[in-house]
């Protein structure tokens, strides 16, 4: 392992707080990384990492060396891209599943063809993640990002719609006003980002009103939430694209169309760094273009 590779391995170990996680990210064995760090510490004449049974943390010298390594690696990446080098390496992206399947996956072959040296690893979720600790390069999320150290780049706004199944409306009646929602039930959605069940939203005369209906069942997964509405368990609010086919087929009915929920922002979140790796930059640019062409 040459000096740059050793620097790369060291920075990944610090970020992941784990030899095992860094080894998985970089495609090395754990023993290879262990020997590389031993050699690095011997060459520098100082201990860089404090190892315990549960985690790995940098020493004071390790913190200083980490900052220098990250700066050097960012400059090397920028220099290579500046002379025409192709983005390469493993790119780890965590996406909201429904969003990924509708907008991203149908176009993914374009990115793979354009950047064949980039290896994509996609995970699915909508929870808050520690990008650095979990070794993720960026996440695609629906909703307003919470305050964090991450950069949040808004990609688009998605129109939302209020819907229920015909069977549910046959039993409960179809509400024509907000007052007529009394006596109705919703399928609850518990947001992992906000830590609570979300109220229904309605825009009336330019003002947003929240209404919390009794929940027949509360879900924390978007697909289960949607499936519960199709089964007639209550009213839900989802992005219009998600319900479009079922609305056209009559499996769902739009309610109170003149008082829609507020649109949901879609954002890419990534670590705040002076110089993002080129593989992350090209992916961000590609995602922005994908949504601009479809929404």
Asked if residue 60 has pLDDT above 80, the reply is yes
CA distance 285 to 292: 11
Asked if residue 199 has pLDDT above 70, the reply is yes
- pLDDT tens digit string along 226-266? 999 999 999 999 999 999 999 999 999 999 999 999 998 99
Domains of the chain: 3-82 (1.10.10.10), 89-155+265-294 (3.40.190.10), 160-262 (3.40.190.10)
**What is residue 263's predicted lDDT score, i.e. its pLDDT?**
92
Q: If you average pLDDT over residues 99-128, what whole number do you get?
A: 88
First to last CA, the chain: 46
Q: If you average pLDDT over residues 211-231, what whole number do you get?
A: 94
Contact between 48 and 41 (Cβ < 8 Å): yes
- pLDDT tens digit string along 174-196? 999 999 999 999 999 987 766 78
Confidence band of 96 (pLDDT split at 50, 70, 90): confident
Compute CA distances 115 → 48, 93, 135, 294, whole Å.
35, 15, 21, 22
**What is residue 146's predicted lDDT score, i.e. its pLDDT?**
67
Contact between 103 and 290 (Cβ < 8 Å): yes
Confidence band of 151 (pLDDT split at 50, 70, 90): confident
CA distance 188 to 214: 8
- pLDDT tens digit string along 37-59? 999 999 999 999 998 777 788 99
Which is higher by pLDDT, 203 or 273? 203
DSSP letter for each residue of 238-253? EEHHHHHHHHHHTSSE
**What is residue 206's predicted lDDT score, i.e. its pLDDT?**
85
Q: If you average pLDDT over residues 193-215, what whole number do you get?
A: 89
Give me 35's structure tokens.
């020997």
Q: How many residues does the chain have?
A: 295
Q: How buried is 153 (Cβ within 10 angstroms: 0-12 exposed, 13-18 middle, 19+ buried)? A: middle
- If phi > 0 it is left, if psi is from -120 to 50 it is alpha, else beta; for residue 164 that is beta
Q: What is the pTM of this model?
A: 0.71
């Amino acid at each position: 392992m040459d000096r740059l590779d050793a620097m790369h391995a060291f920075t990944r170990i610090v970020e992941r707080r784990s030899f095992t996680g860094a080894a998985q990210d970089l495609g090395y064995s754990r023993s290879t990384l262990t020997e590389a760090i031993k050699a690095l510490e011997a060459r520098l004449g100082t201990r860089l990492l404090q190892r315990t049974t549960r985690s790995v943390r940098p020493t004071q010298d390790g913190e200083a060396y980490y900052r220098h390594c990250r700066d050097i690696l960012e400059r090397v990446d920028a220099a290579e891209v500046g002379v025409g080098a192709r983005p390469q390496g493993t790119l780890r992206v965590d996406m909201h599943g429904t969003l990924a399947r509708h907008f991203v996956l149908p176009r993914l072959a374009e990115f793979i063809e354009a950047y064949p040296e980039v290896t994509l690893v996609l995970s699915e979720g909508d929870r808050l993640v520690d990008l650095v600790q979990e070794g993720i390069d960026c996440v695609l999320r629906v909703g307003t990002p919470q305050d964090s150290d991450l950069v949040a780049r808004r990609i688009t706004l998605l129109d939302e719609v209020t819907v229920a199944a015909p069977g549910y409306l046959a039993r409960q009646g179809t509400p024509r006003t907000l007052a007529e929602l009394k006596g109705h039930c919703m399928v609850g959605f518990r947001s992992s980002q906000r830590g609570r069940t979300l109220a229904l939203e309605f825009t009336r005369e330019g003002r947003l009103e929240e209404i919390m209906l009794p929940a027949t069942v509360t879900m924390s997964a978007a697909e289960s939430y949607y499936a519960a509405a199709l089964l007639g368990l209550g009213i839900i609010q989802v992005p219009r694209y998600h319900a479009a086919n079922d609305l056209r087929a009559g499996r769902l009915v739009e309610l109170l169309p003149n008082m829609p929920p507020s649109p949901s922002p879609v954002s890419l979140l990534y670590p705040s760094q002076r110089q993002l790796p080129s593989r992350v930059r090209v992916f961000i640019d590609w995602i922005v273009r994908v949504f601009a062409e479809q929404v």
